[in-house]
Structure 1
Amino acid sequence: MRKLMLAVGGSLILVAPLSQADVVGLGASVSYWDSDLSGKAATNNDLVDVENDLNLGGDSTANASLYLEHPVPVLPNIRINYTRVKQSGRGQVGLVGFDGVTGDVQSDFDLEQLDLTLYYEVLDNWVNLDLGLTARDLAGDLTVQEVNGLATSETSVDAVIPMGYLAARFDLPFTGVSVGTEGNFISYGGDSLLDFNAYGQYEMAVLRFRAGYRQMSIDYEDGNDRLDVEIGGPFVSAGVSF
């Protein structure tokens, strides 16, 4: 993981002088993500399917971002992004059970992550390309509780993870319309995280509207607990840029 960080960081230093913002730019956005959850969770060598066994479904998803771009050479631009996914459901784990829990269960899944991204503008015209590094503070909890009993199981992962960052956008001249994609990614030691979205965007004065699809894959082990899940679905967002 250290070698990956050094390699990516070195590449960013090489490309940093290629493009800089002419003036200070500030932007913010909020979005709604209609996401579905699938995959498995494991604790103490017990495994459960979060979709088929626990029937977890969409409850609420919050996403907000803030960025700052500047004309100072060498220094990277800054982007902060917050995502929270909450899912709940009622299912059954049978007599075999999961981590001491059996029968009918009530389950809650809570995923919270805060990203700090440092990035450079490699291209800045009708084709836009940003490259950077992200530090992601990831916290995920799955609680499974017997409906007619006292037994409860909790699967948790908690870590700060370095990830590569890439964003590309193609502007259609004189229309305010653009299409783009952005994502974070890393894979090391049997763990991997991938978080990307593709979108269409319309800008009008300082307002910016997006609609697209976001997909997140998490395969991460923390002690005796492991999450191997995918979260995906369409999103819409509204923002401002100055």
Structure 2
Amino acid sequence: MRRLMVALGGALVLAAPVAQADVVGLGASVNYWNSDLTGNVRDGGDFVDVDNELNLDEDSSANAALYVEHPIPILPNVRLAYTQVEQSGQGVLTADFGGVNFSGINARSDLDLDQFDVTLYYEILDNWVNLDLGVTARDLSAELVVQDTVGAGLKNTTTIDGVIPMGYLAARFDLPFTGVSVGGEGNFIKFDGDSLRDFNVYGQYEISLLQLRAGYRQMAVDYEDGDDQLDVEMDGPFVSAGLSF
């Protein structure tokens, strides 16, 4: 992991002199992400399908982002982003999950996921083609609670908590004189067989200070630690409104 962070940091330093903002810029946005969760999870026992067995399909989502760009050479620009996803469901579970034997028991599942990103990046291109390159530190916290609904006292809680370094790339193509643009941005890391990616593509319309976006976002995690495995994907459309100064 240390070698990966050094490599990402080196790429960021090499990119630093390419482009800088002429003035201080500030932007903020909020969005709603209608996400579906698919895949499998194992907590020291059997594999469990999060869609077909846990039926995690009732979701709510809160997302926000803030960025600051400046004309100071060498120093990177800063982007902060927060994502909160809550999903719940109920189904019949037949599995040994986390040392708890759910043998055909009606179970309720609740997933709470919070992540906070701090991204340092440079503008490589800044005209009708915009390109940003940087690194992200992602503080990821997730909790999955599975418990019976019949009073049998069966319950398991699986947690993930850590800070993950990731690469950051964003590109946008502006259609001159229209206020319309298309683009995409993403974070990614792959190390020692594990991987995490989080990307979105969008169309944007800008009028005065207001930016309106609609697009598609996908986040995928492939993680293995002994008998604990997580191979899930969360994706779906999103809409966003923001202000840029």
Contact kept, 8 Å, 1:121 with 1:128, in 2: the verdict is yes
Q: Does residue 204 of structure 2 align to residue 209 of structure 1?
A: no
2: CA distance between counterparts of 1:193 and 1:234?
19
Distance 1:67 1:31, change over 3 A: same
Structure 2 counterpart of 1:141, from 131, 140, 143: 143
What are the superposed Cα offsets for residues 195-225 of structure 1, whole Å, 9 maximum, x if unpaired? Answer: 0000000111110000000000012346764
2: CA distance between counterparts of 1:111 and 1:223?
22
What are the superposed Cα offsets for residues 147-181 of structure 1, whole Å, 9 maximum, x if unpaired? Answer: 11211011111110000000000000000000000
Distance 1:85 1:101, change over 3 A: farther
Q: Compute the displacement of 1:101 (Å).
A: 4.0
2: CA distance between counterparts of 1:45 and 1:187?
25
Q: Does residue 179 of structure 2 align to residue 184 of structure 1?
A: no
Question: Counterpart of 2:58 in 1: which secondary structure?
Answer: strand
Contact kept, 8 Å, 1:127 with 1:169, in 2: the verdict is yes
2: CA distance between counterparts of 1:122 and 1:206?
23
Q: Compute the displacement of 1:98 (Å).
A: 2.6
What's 2:239 paired with? 236
Contact kept, 8 Å, 1:180 with 1:200, in 2: the verdict is yes
2: CA distance between counterparts of 1:226 and 1:121?
37
Q: Which amino acid aligns with 1:118?
A: L
What's 2:169 paired with? 166
2: CA distance between counterparts of 1:106 and 1:222?
25
Contact kept, 8 Å, 2:135 with 2:167, in 1: the verdict is yes
Q: Does residue 125 of structure 2 align to residue 120 of structure 1?
A: no
Question: Counterpart of 1:18 in 2: which secondary structure?
Answer: coil
Q: Which amino acid aligns with 1:81?
A: A
Contact kept, 8 Å, 1:109 with 1:143, in 2: the verdict is yes
Question: Counterpart of 2:15 in 1: which secondary structure?
Answer: helix
Q: Compute the displacement of 1:143 (Å).
A: 0.7
What's 2:64 paired with? 64
What's 1:41 paired with? 41
Contact kept, 8 Å, 1:41 with 1:155, in 2: the verdict is no
The farther-off stretch of 225-234 and 116-125 is: 225-234
Q: Does residue 136 of structure 2 align to residue 111 of structure 1?
A: no
Aligned residues: 241
Q: Does residue 20 of structure 2 align to residue 4 of structure 1?
A: no
Q: Which amino acid aligns with 2:47?
A: L
> Gaps spanning 5+ residues in structure 2: where?
none
Question: Counterpart of 2:11 in 1: which secondary structure?
Answer: helix
Question: Counterpart of 1:8 in 2: which secondary structure?
Answer: helix
What's 2:93 paired with? 93
Q: Compute the displacement of 1:45 (Å).
A: 2.9
1: CA distance between counterparts of 2:166 and 2:240?
23
Structure 2 counterpart of 1:151, from 132, 150, 154: 154
Q: Which amino acid aligns with 2:82?
A: Y
Question: Counterpart of 1:114 in 2: which secondary structure?
Answer: strand
1: CA distance between counterparts of 2:130 and 2:58?
34
Indicate the percent of aligned positions where both proteins have the same amino acid.
64
Q: Which amino acid aligns with 2:28?
A: A
Q: Which amino acid aligns with 1:13?
A: V
